[in-house]
Structure 1
């Protein structure tokens, strides 16, 4: 991007808001400062002036561009005020992320980090924290404090004014505007939020200490590991010895009790799955940190473009889909409305087939079940086999297919499928023989990335390759990062045409609609999701699956359904207040 390109817009508005952010609720704008970059015209508005306006005090037409740092925050204020969103968006946070993705940044990727990266002086961190505390305090503010807050808001606009000319040479305008377009979609999705059964949520939060003890009493009865809520290492060692179970150890000689180790070992010893789930629940149950607004919606920052592949990276404790899976049973449509969960079928497999142009892999993806089709090609199952008739073989070939995209070796694959290393090596050899074009392509991707020092998606999201970058990262990047591009494009189209997208979830979307319009909305959503994949993958279209959740049902649970049943059984019997609008028993959709 050159200075002439930015000046191709008639107006370039640098914008920043200060706002309060109640937990789980829509923001409350406090003030706004906007400066037109070409003329220096500056607008400072306090909250009373903002609330009295139906439109922003600056142009949002196609010949103007809106510049911000983490623009979804500004757009959340637009939505709270009922203002329309601008036609063109240049988000310097997103462009700084893609320009430095893969580098170690000692000052982070916030606006202060970007200023430090370019050697531009900025407000001291302490001053910034003090001013944010003043804003979040909620007032009332004196006239002097109002002036201080407006000055603080303007300091971020001045920072944008200094950053823009330093970053111009890094920016590819069309792709940057596309990424800015997604930040509008993010603000809309964050505003919609995820509907939660608020009454049950409050009851669970209040009863959680008692529920923990009851879960331990029921699940630990067969293991005798816990003392109160404490996991006794010595008792677990005794259990392993008594049941002749081998377990990995740390260099110190102690048992390796990391979550990943427990997950792997539970696949080898299925009898440990309930204990593994219990440890996971007790460690991660933080309902008190889940932000649920007064309207019963889980809202948090979706943190777009935070991962190296450009995927969203919301908080593990504030975004319900990142919490233990049984908590998803709290997701429920309100009366008269319905939800649908739509995801891409075998997205990473399909992307690998498309980008590598491996025709056999593409044919396998287009089959009714790609993993069974893979097993058939390998002559591991009869030609009339199905997922129902050969679940064990399907699982093995699924793990193999997914594993190769992460550069998984035979030792790890053997552990994942519960077979010998020889069997795992044979599976990998079969994959090499059946899909040679894929393997040539993936090796070329790795080689090219090391030679050029970068790797990019179809739409230009970039990762800078370092000497320490593993080949596995590079092998997996095209599938993950282009998968993110597909979902971003779908989110843009869907939010722009009025579909209520509650949240993006990796390669899936949760949407909401009036009950009578849900099936039509699902059809529209699937069409746009599949169309987005065809745009990114040069005509190759990914399939989508949909689960519909009608009132009074809840989000379906699979992995930890037993835990959900136990918790609800406890509530039905013991909770002091179970007067929910829905009984706690039929929470798991069959």
Structure 2
């Protein structure tokens, strides 16, 4: 991180705000600009033609100038469109207020931030000038922030990702516009046929809707667990079906169908006139600090099979690169558990776990080694999320004593990890806060589960890594279309995509090494697609083929 001054050492402190227009699938366009220098009280008010004719940034862009904004990414879009230089020192008060109150159910003294985040900004002052009242609110929020004696170095570091986020939003994701329109028109007409075809294997739909009683009978017949609420009523909402499908793959087609029926609103996909899906990625919005784009507007937030709408333009190609077993690697790095490090660095952490439990390919008699590996993959991932023996037994379809034995072996083999994890839980209980190495914090409230507390360091450091990876990749001239949890979707010319993917892998590895203090996570190029092919993830091919067949489209 760079050397910085205290807030009081800056010569100028400017609070800035833009009013912008927001067209679907496009980045914000500036319509008005307000700024106030907090020491001198100087105010700048530009709008309309006067704003667009101002070729030179009206505030200084020196090293001794601090710029303060709220929700900085839209502001950076406006700086870019006006060809003004990006501020050298930026603080985003939305990010900082999110950090200060992260996990607090009823934060004190946050009425200003809550008002702004609820869209109550852009107030008018007594002279009826919109925006100046908003600046006054920002000034009050900054004073509240300054009184907390913030770690300015880390605040400036957090804001550096906002420039990367703005560039990602400008790039967008190329979409097959013709097919998207075809789906908008044709899908509603064939949904009934899709329901009938899928339901032949289940018998749980009535009049086009999932019937609770039929679903209950199906679960009993198949010997699957019954999800019920506090009153014993069966649950059939999408989140419940999605959760069940993770444990029981036979329900995945039901999950996909329910998503089609209940979640998909094709008209809400934010596609611009140039055929690119653009939506705010909303950095730092989740408790872990991960990006949180609106799933209905972003193609990467849709069910996996619908990502086949993604299609590179002529002469272009896309690559999807993700971290391999990222959370397990992060757990190994943070806990410094020698056995977990060895398992991760073996290249196949799930087979390594099976071997560390004493299972070998030679010992596999009735089931294949691939089946054994899959079982231990489910166990290793599930245990990391706090899965108990009963759930593990159901997921692996093994006796309860066997599941307990796997859990016991995990605690024995990875004793160092469990000691680190328990110490994190104890620290959280005593200090009521957990913080990443880079300063993203979570305040611990009494209602938080132990599993959520235990999982926070893994998710939050994962968020730190993907943010830094995005910025490093851009710095190395890689076009990043979207960060997706633990992966990056990138774009390049058709003949250059393999090189770009390799360079992106290096950028992601370098980011993990920086965040994890020298521990390098493994990466993998999962998908490369070149025009005219569409993006084809490794899930949902059957459902996509069914939809294409019914609307008369191509399934590739």
Q: State the TM-score, normalizing by the size of structure 2.
A: 0.91
1:456 match: 435
1:422 is aligned, of 377, 388, 401, to 401
Deviation of 1:461 after TM superposition, in Å, equals 0.5
Counterparts in 2 of 1:467-546, with a 5 A limit?
467-546=446-525
Aligned-pair CA distance for 1:39: 2.1
**CA drift at 1:286:** 1.3
Which of 283, 294, 297 is the aligned partner of 2:262? 283
Q: State the shift of 1:110 in Å.
A: 8.9
1:158 pairs, out of 133, 136, 140, with 136
1:297-446 aligned within 5 A: 297-382=276-361, 390-446=369-425
Whole-angstrom CA distance in 2 between matches of 1:389 and 1:53: 69
Shift of residue 11 of structure 1?
A: 2.5
CA gap of 1:250–1:23, structure 2 versus 1, over 3 A, is: same
The answer on 1:555 being equivalent to 2:535 is yes
Measure the CA separation in 2 of the matches of 1:427 and 1:357. 22
2:87 matched residue in structure 1: 86
Shift of 1:266: 4.9
- Residues 4-43 of structure 1 correspond to what in structure 2 (within 5 A)? 5-43=6-44
Give, in angstroms, the shift of residue 407 of structure 1.
2.2
Q: Does 1:47 align with 2:48?
A: yes
1:342-371 deviations in Å (ceiling 9; x for gaps): 111111000000110111211111112111
Q: Could you say if the C-alpha distance between residues 383 and 33 of structure 1 is closer, same or farther in structure 2, counting changes exceeding 3 Å?
A: farther
CA contact (8 A) 1:360 1:435 kept: yes
Aligned to 2:100: 99
Residue aligning to 1:576: none
Q: In the TM superposition, what is the alpha-carbon distance from 1:115 to its structure 2 partner?
A: 7.5
Counterpart position of 1:564: 544
- Contact 1:502/1:509, CA 8 A, preserved across alignment: yes
Q: Give the Cα separation in 2 of the matches to 1:152 and 1:165.
A: 21
Equivalent residue number for residue 585 of structure 1: 554
Query: Cα distance, 1:378 vs. partner?
Result: 1.0
Q: In structure 1, how many angstroms separate the alpha carbons of the residues matched to 2:230 and 2:430?
A: 37
Spell out, residue by residue over 1:67-87, the C-alpha distance to the aligned partner (whole angstroms, 9 max, x if none).
Answer: 101101111222333333222
> Is the Cα–Cα contact under 8 Å of residues 264 and 415 in structure 1 kept in the other structure?
no
Q: Distance in 2 between matches of 1:238 and 1:468?
A: 35
Contact 1:115 1:163 in 2 (8 A): no
CA 1:11/1:201 → structure 2, altered by over 3 Å: closer, same or farther? same
Unaligned runs of 5+ in 2: none
CA contact 2:216–2:226 (8 Å) conserved in 1: no
Q: What is the alpha-carbon distance in structure 1 between the residues aligned to residue 235 and residue 241 of structure 2? A: 8
Report SS of the residue matched to 2:30: strand
Displacement after TM superposition at 1:251 (Å):
5.2
- Matched residue SS, 1:7: helix
Q: Distance in 2 between matches of 1:198 and 1:98?
A: 39
What SS does structure 2 have at the residue aligned with 1:152? coil
CA change 1:82–1:263 in 2 (3 A) is same
SS in 2 for 1:520: helix
The 3 A distance-change label for structure 1 pair 442 and 328 is same
Q: Tell me the distance in 2 between the aligned counterparts of 1:571 and 1:107.
A: 54
Instruction: Give the Å deviation of 1:315.
Output: 1.4
Taking structure 1 as reference, are residues 509 and 392 closer, same or farther at Cα in structure 2, changes over 3 Å only? same
- Pick closer, same or farther for the CA change 1:286–1:70 going to 2, 3 Å: same
Structure 1 distance, partners of 2:226, 2:275, is 44
Runs of 4+ in 1 over 6 A off after TM superposition: 106-110, 241-246
- Report how many residues are paired: 548
